[in-house]
Structures are given as structure tokens and as C-alpha cells.
Structure 1
């Protein structure tokens, strides 16, 4: 049986708490979240700060995910590799859903479309590959926010832009939605970027389990949602399955 090291587990728990917070977290808040004494929490946080995995805000004294950890955890995703590994699966996703399919990555604070498959009908459509979109108002962006601390930090501390009356601009509500994304394994954005348009998305992981991209579909609200604007379960399941299939192309879930 593998030996479990308590201090490592606690340090990992601290990083997990900080990863989902976009504002500095106080020592007291961390201690409560972890169920530890302040002195114990302080020792762990100071060690993480010393190695660059945690930063301390000079004004509030609160703690944030450190630049050193973000650099360590980041990787330059090869967009050509993403396209090539996702190509067949996104073609099938567009065909089976009858909607446009996209694969996107986090880039410079935005959602970057790495691959776009047209909706399989005769309507006029524009290529979106290479275009950028807001993180908080798209399903693809919400997946990246839910799993990538760099994306959360990129939102900054200012107000979130509103694109429609349904855009989630309240940070507390957005953080709750991101927790739901991690629980469900998929994200939705209904009329948050454009009226009458909805999107569903799921994560794409590499061999290590790190989320490196998001895959999803976009189309009319009445095609992706029911009469109460709730995402159709069958389509959400299809998107999740596609994300898992692309993840396997990157080695995730494969037995060595």
C-alpha cells in the first residue's frame, strides 16, 4: 500500500482552495476550509510561498495561487495537434448533434477557437477558427475556468462584461456555476453571449489528467434546450462522450 503523506495532502488542499478563488483568501478562511489550526495552516502556506506556489497580496495579506505554480502547470498546447486529434470526433459531434462543433483552448485571457466544424445544413456560416471569445459568457470558457487556475486569474478583479440580460456577471454566482461544472463534467451557456444562442461544452484532458482544451456545440436555444431553457440531457451526454474520446487521443484513461 502506498504511503500517504499528510503534509502533502494538506498542501494540495490549500492549492485546490486557492485555485477556485479569484480574490485573495485570508489565513483564517483557509484554516476554516481545511479544518486546521491557524498555526498549522500558516506553516504550510509559508512553505508554499517560499517555493513560489503561493503569492501573498501586499494590501490584504491574503493568499493567491502563485505565478510559479501557474507557470509550472501551464503548457503550450500545439493547436495543430489539438485539431488533428479532435478532427474525426468533432466531425461526428457536428453530424450527430446537427450543430456547429468547436474545440477551444485558453489563450491570453480568452477562449481561442482551435477548430470549428460547420453546422451540417445549407445555411451561410463563417469560419471561427482563430477567433476569440469571453471566458465567462461561453460554455467553452466556463469549462476552461472550472479547471484552469490561469483562466480564473485572467478574469481580474474588475466587473464582468454583460453581453445579454442572461450573462452571468455576479462573481459568486459564476463560482457556483464552475463548481457545478466540475460536479457534472459539462458546462452550458444559454443566451449569455448572443440572444437565441446556446452552447454546451466538456473538458479535454491530456495523459496526466490536466484539462488542456474544451469541446462543445453551439446553436439555437430551441435546438439545445427544452421549453424551460434547460440543456437537453442527450446533447450534454454526447458532448461529454466526445470530450472523453478526444482525451483518449491524448492518452488520458489509457492503460500504459
Structure 2
């Protein structure tokens, strides 16, 4: 099926603006996406007219508009996975007093689709709708561990060194993913960000396909019983999977 170029450009513009919380100018949009300025203007102007973008008249910076929020809210409201996982996420986060995330894979990256922070929990920076690396996160490694052909999948990733603990060796990553698959949970021990510890586990649907992953995250402090928390996260992921029709 033929892909409409203008629609694809409009989506690329929205994704770019979403990554710039302080805003971005029209010229910067055109330069970043390698678009003719006139083409970028036509698309940006239309998105602004439709409420998808907002323009600060003084700084000339574009930011996301209110309609994006409305669409996002409808996605959260209508998504069965998010609604099914929500009470489990709240219970897990309150039990461990850590932030709980729900994520899917998108374009070989982790896409955060929901988040729950218990009161007075140590704040984590990741936000709903943001994306990050698969190889350096508990969520990403949980998702990766479900692939049968790990060599092929890993070859599509950029194994960027983000901290001293980030695994950038392909063979070492594959070995860890095999361990994760066997025990049912993954660990990000200061691999994405220093001083952060995250534990994740995959979620499966009625066809026994991995559709998401869940994790708990917090700043490292004192001793953490990783195996206890890992098994707890795994049990919650399994409970969500069963609600989705998964059968072992």
C-alpha cells in the first residue's frame, strides 16, 4: 500500500516537536527533518490550525497543542491493555513504593504507555509517550528476551554506551537475554542512568505473543533484594497476561 508522503511528514513533525518541551522553530523543524521550508510551513500551519501544535507569538517556538492531549487521553481510556494493567500497576507500586511503568516496543525502542507513581516515591524522569533504548532498560530487555532469533533482533539495535554499566557487547547481551527468559525478569542496574535500579518482566496476550512489559524503578539506596522484587514483578506480569487470555 502506498504511503502518503505529506501524512508521514506531519507525523514526523509531531514526533520531533514532542521531543522539544521548550519548543522548536519552523527553520529548526525543516533543518532537522531535511524538508523544504515551504513544505514544512504548510504542514506546520495546518497542524496549528487543527490544534495539534501551538505557536508562541514572541519566541516563534512551536509546542504540542491541546488536541494531542485529547487524543492521548482517548488512547489511554480505550486501550484494553492499559486498563487491565492499571490496578496491578498501582498495587505493585504501592507495595514496593517504587514507580511502575508499562511499555511496548516501537521502532526498536521502548515506548512508555503508562506510569504510576505512589505518593512520596522518588521521582523518575521517564514520561508517558517518551521512548528510550531497549538494550539498556529492564523494560527493553524483558521485551527482547521473548524473541526467538536474538542475533537478528540485536543486529537492528544501536548498542550505545550510556553509563559505565551499559552492555554494548552483542554476545554478552544475548547471554543475559537468555538468562532473563529463563528466570522471567530483567534488571537494569545503572545501565540507562547512573544511580537507578529497574526490574521488569514481559506481558503476553491470548496468542502467547509478547505485547508489553512492566517494570518498577527507583533510585538505588541501601540493599535491594533483587530476586524477591524480580519474582514479584514477574508474578504481576503473569497475572496481567492471564487477564489478556495468556495460557502457559
* TM-score by shorter chain over 0.5: yes
Q: Alpha-carbon deviation of 1:252?
A: 1.2
Backbone CA RMSD of aligned residues? 2.4
| 1:94 and 1:120 in contact (8 A); partners too | no
Unaligned runs of 5+ in 2: 1-74
For the pair 1:96 / 2:95, whether they are aligned, the reply is yes
Q: Alpha-carbon deviation of 1:151?
A: 8.3
Q: Which moved more, 1:143-152 or 1:85-94?
A: 143-152
> What is the TM-score of this pair, normalised by structure 1?
0.61
Pick from 241, 249, 254 the counterpart of residue 243 of structure 2.
Answer: 249
| 1:201 and 1:217 in contact (8 A); partners too | yes
The structure 1 segments of at least 4 consecutive aligned residues displaced by more than 2 Å after TM superposition are: 122-127, 148-159
CA distance in 2, matches of 1:122, 1:204: 24
Q: Alpha-carbon deviation of 1:253?
A: 2.8
Inter-CA distance 125–198: structure 2 relative to 1 (3 Å threshold)? closer
Q: Which moved more, 1:111-120 or 1:82-91?
A: 111-120
Secondary structure, in 3 states, of the residue corresponding to 2:221?
helix
CA distance in 1, matches of 2:157, 2:200: 26
CA distance in 2, matches of 1:115, 1:140: 12
Secondary structure, in 3 states, of the residue corresponding to 1:248?
helix
Q: Which moved more, 1:159-168 or 1:120-129?
A: 120-129
Pick from 214, 228, 235 the counterpart of residue 234 of structure 1.
Answer: 228
> What is the TM-score of this pair, normalised by structure 2?
0.63
Q: What residue in structure 2 maps to residue 146 of structure 1?
A: 145
Measured against aligned partners, the alpha-carbon deviations of 1:106-155 in whole angstroms (never above 9, x if no partner) come to: 11110001110114316566671111110000000001111136986454
CA distance in 2, matches of 1:212, 1:250: 10
Inter-CA distance 139–95: structure 2 relative to 1 (3 Å threshold)? same
Residues 1-256 of structure 1: pairs in structure 2 closer than 5 A: 80-121=79-120, 128-148=127-147, 153=152, 155-156=154-155, 160-222=159-221, 225-226=223-224, 232-253=226-247
Secondary structure, in 3 states, of the residue corresponding to 1:147?
coil
Inter-CA distance 87–93: structure 2 relative to 1 (3 Å threshold)? same
Q: Number of residue pairs matched?
A: 172
| 1:204 and 1:213 in contact (8 A); partners too | yes
